[in-house]
Structure 1
Amino acid sequence: MRNKIIYNLVLIVALLAQACDSYLDLQPENGTTRDEFWKTKEDVQAAVIGIYSGLLNTPGSGTTIAEYSFMYGELRGGMVGAGAISSDDQRDIITSNILPSNTISNWGTFYTVINYCNTVIDLAPDVLALDPTFTQEQLNQYLSEALAVRAYLYFTLARTFRDVPLKLNATLSDDDNFQIPTSTQDEIFSQVVTDLTTALGWAVEDYGDNPSNKGRITKDAINAMLTDVYLWQEDYPNALIAADAVINSSLGYELIPGGPSWFTTVFARGNSTESIFEFQYTPENRGPFYSIFLQRPEYLAEASVLDDVFGLDFEDPENKDIRGERASLVPGTNEIYKFTGLNADLRKSFSESDTHWFVYRFADVLLMKAEALNELDRGDEALEIIERIRESRLAIELTEEQVTGDDKNGVRMYILAERAREFAFEGKRWFDVLRNARKDSYANIDIILGIAIATAPANQQQSIVAKLKDPNSHYLPIYEYELYTNKALEQNPFYK
Structure 2
Amino acid sequence: MIHIFKKSIPALALALLSFSSCDKWLDLKPQEGVVAEDYWKTKEQVRSAVNGLYISLITSSLTQELFMHGEIRTDMIEVSTFATQAYTEYRFSDMLSTNSFSNWRTFYRMINYCNNVIDNAPDVKAVDPTLKQAELDAYIGEALAIRAWMYLNLARIWGDVPIKLNYTASDEDLASIAKSSQSEVLKAVVADLVRAEPMVHETFGTTAADKGKITRYTVNALLADAYLWQDEYQKAADACDEIIEAGVFELVSGDPSTWINELFGQGNSVEGIFELQYDRQQLNPFYTLFRQNALYTAGQNVYEDLFQFDATDPENFDVRGDRGALSTATNMIYKYHAFSRTQTKSLEDSYTHWIVYRYADVLLMKAEALNGLNRGQEALDLIYTIRERGNAMQGTDLDPGADDEQGITDFIVAERAREFAYEGKRWFDVLRNARRNNYARLDLITGMIVNYAPADRQQAMLGKYRDVNSHYLPIYYMEIQRSGGVLEQNAFYGN
**TM-score scaled by structure 2?**
0.92
Contact preservation (8 Å) 2:97, 2:475: yes
1:132 CA drift (Å): 1.4
Tell me, in whole angstroms, the C-alpha distance in 2 between the residues paired with 1:321 and 1:456: 26
Contact preservation (8 Å) 1:9, 1:46: no
Contact preservation (8 Å) 2:252, 2:269: no
Taking every aligned residue pair, what percent have the same amino acid on both sides?
46
SS of 2:138 mapped into structure 1: helix
| CA separation of 1:8 and 1:373: change in aligned 2, threshold 3 A | farther
Say whether 1:34 aligns with 2:31.
Answer: no
- Corresponding letter in the other structure for 1:33: A
Superposed CA deviations along residues 100-127 of structure 1, whole A, max 9, x for unmatched, are 1111111111111111100000000000
Say whether 1:46 aligns with 2:43.
Answer: no
- Corresponding letter in the other structure for 1:437: A
SS of 1:276 mapped into structure 2: strand
Say whether 1:126 aligns with 2:123.
Answer: yes
Q: Map of 1:52-451 to 2, 5 A cutoff?
A: 52-58=54-60, 64-451=61-448
Tell me, in whole angstroms, the C-alpha distance in 1 between the residues paired with 2:452 and 2:331: 15
Tell me, in whole angstroms, the C-alpha distance in 2 between the residues paired with 1:323 and 1:411: 21
Structure 1, unaligned stretches of length 5 or more?
A: 1-6, 15-25, 59-63
- Corresponding letter in the other structure for 2:420: F
Greater mean deviation of Cα atoms: 360-369 or 41-50 = 41-50
Contact preservation (8 Å) 1:240, 1:369: yes
Contact preservation (8 Å) 2:430, 2:445: yes
- Corresponding letter in the other structure for 1:45: R
Tell me, in whole angstroms, the C-alpha distance in 2 between the residues paired with 1:483 and 1:174: 17
Greater mean deviation of Cα atoms: 142-151 or 168-177 = 168-177
Tell me, in whole angstroms, the C-alpha distance in 1 between the residues paired with 2:43 and 2:92: 49
Superposed CA deviations along residues 1-55 of structure 1, whole A, max 9, x for unmatched, are xxxxxx99935979xxxxxxxxxxx998xxx8222x0000111111111111111
Tell me, in whole angstroms, the C-alpha distance in 2 between the residues paired with 1:428 and 1:146: 23
Contact preservation (8 Å) 1:34, 1:123: no
Contact preservation (8 Å) 1:309, 1:421: yes
Greater mean deviation of Cα atoms: 410-419 or 445-454 = 445-454
Superposed CA deviations along residues 346-389 of structure 1, whole A, max 9, x for unmatched, are 11011111000010010000000000011101000011111111
- Corresponding letter in the other structure for 1:84: T
SS of 1:204 mapped into structure 2: coil
- Corresponding letter in the other structure for 1:38: W
Contact preservation (8 Å) 2:33, 2:49: no
- Corresponding letter in the other structure for 1:352: D
Superposed CA deviations along residues 436-488 of structure 1, whole A, max 9, x for unmatched, are 11111111111111111221111111111000000000011101111122231
Superposed CA deviations along residues 84-111 of structure 1, whole A, max 9, x for unmatched, are 3111111121111211111111111111
Aligned residues: 470
Superposed CA deviations along residues 195-219 of structure 1, whole A, max 9, x for unmatched, are 0010001010011100000000000
Equivalent position of 2:6 in the other structure: none
| CA separation of 1:460 and 1:477: change in aligned 2, threshold 3 A | same
Superposed CA deviations along residues 211-257 of structure 1, whole A, max 9, x for unmatched, are 00000000000000000000000000100100000111252433423
Superposed CA deviations along residues 280-316 of structure 1, whole A, max 9, x for unmatched, are 0001101110111001200011101001111122222
Tell me, in whole angstroms, the C-alpha distance in 2 between the residues paired with 1:470 and 1:68: 24
| CA separation of 1:340 and 1:405: change in aligned 2, threshold 3 A | same
Greater mean deviation of Cα atoms: 123-132 or 174-183 = 174-183
